[in-house]
Amino acid sequence: MQYFEKIDNEKIKCLLCRHHCILKNTQTGICGVNKNENGKLVNLVYGHPSALNIDPVEKKPLFHFLPGSSVLSFGTVGCNFKCPFCQNWRISQNHIVDTSVFVSPEKMVDLAVEYKCKSIAYTYNEPSVFYPYARDVGILAKEKGIKNIFVTDGFESVYEIEDMASWVDACNVDLKSFNKEYYKKVLKGDLDFVLDTIKRLHDKGIWQEITTLIVPGDNDSEAELTQIAEFIAGVGVEIPWHISRFHPDYKDTDKIPTPMETMIKAYEIGKKAGLKYVYLGNVTTPVITFCPKCGEELIVRSIYRIEKNILKIDENGKAHCPKCGEIIQGVWK
């Protein structure tokens, strides 16, 4: 797969995200980690993870994807957004690559096997900026029966999304706002492109869950939360919506944590919009998957730990409520 187009003898267009940076020789894109070197795109972070951990899959967050399983999570430096509230800003907004650390795709998959991880997550920073590395890891992982997860800001190029369908099993997409100006001026992205990505991932059949960090004063109005919930429901009422509680970080240390009443309001808005599965994140209370038909408690989570799971999984991998038989959408085996 080629990740760039030649414009002329000096310039190339990067195809890794929707910025489509036009790069002169020796120039690096907005992400800070993809560079034009003599007419070719070089991914400067290839093989150089900046963070590597074993996580519960619920931490991604994915609640309808292999619940209770472990995931090998890694990321690099660099990002195509400039979110002022980023909790991983020390790596996402950093462009200095530590080349002394090298983990080949083969070694990354070996680590996943060694630690009995059922999936690998490309996370911590935006994975589209290290897509050449992620893809090589992911294809090897699939050969070993290991699934692949993208935790993303939704700014992948259409070219990249088309390719993702061949090896990515699940995504958690951040839908950070429904305000075009906020996306453009504050986040340095484009809302319309993110919405398009969500639709395309759904059309490709990649399991998808969506997260919205509720930032007080930025995206917490009832009108905006309603727009977000209604958009998700319009794509698919089965898509889980994770409403995440903001805590001050990076450039947004002057803001207060999201009040619980705002979180509850957002939950109610999601349910009113018709979403089957709405979850509160960054809270200490148990988070429960209810049967959307009969209300039965199916999965109970306490700080990323599964306390209860009574889903019935059939031979085809479909999950059912044991009380009423309702199908619960997700990836369960």
Q: Give the domain ranges of the chain.
A: 4-43, 51-271, 284-333
Type of residue found at 264:
I
Q: For residues 330 and 311, give the distance between their C-alpha atoms in angstroms, rounded to a whole number.
A: 11
Q: For residues 116 and 88, give the distance between their C-alpha atoms in angstroms, rounded to a whole number.
A: 26
15 half-sphere exposure, CB direction, 13 A CA radius: 15
The CATH superfamily of 51-271 is: Aldolase class I (3.20.20.70)
Strands 297-302 and 170-174: unpaired
Neighbouring CB atoms inside 10 A of 45's CB total: 24
Q: For residues 101 and 98, give the distance between their C-alpha atoms in angstroms, rounded to a whole number.
A: 6
Type of residue found at 3:
Y
For each of the chain's 333 residues, which pLDDT tens digit applies? 899 999 998 999 999 999 999 999 999 999 999 999 999 999 999 999 999 999 999 999 999 999 999 999 999 999 999 999 999 999 999 999 999 999 999 999 999 999 999 999 999 999 999 999 999 999 999 999 999 999 999 999 999 999 999 999 999 999 999 999 999 999 999 999 999 999 999 999 999 999 999 999 999 999 999 999 999 999 999 999 999 999 999 999 999 999 999 999 999 999 999 999 999 999 989 999 999 999 999 999 998 899 999 999 999 999 999 999 999 999 999
Nearest to residue 74, comparing CAs of 137, 23, 144? 137
pTM of the prediction? Answer: 0.97
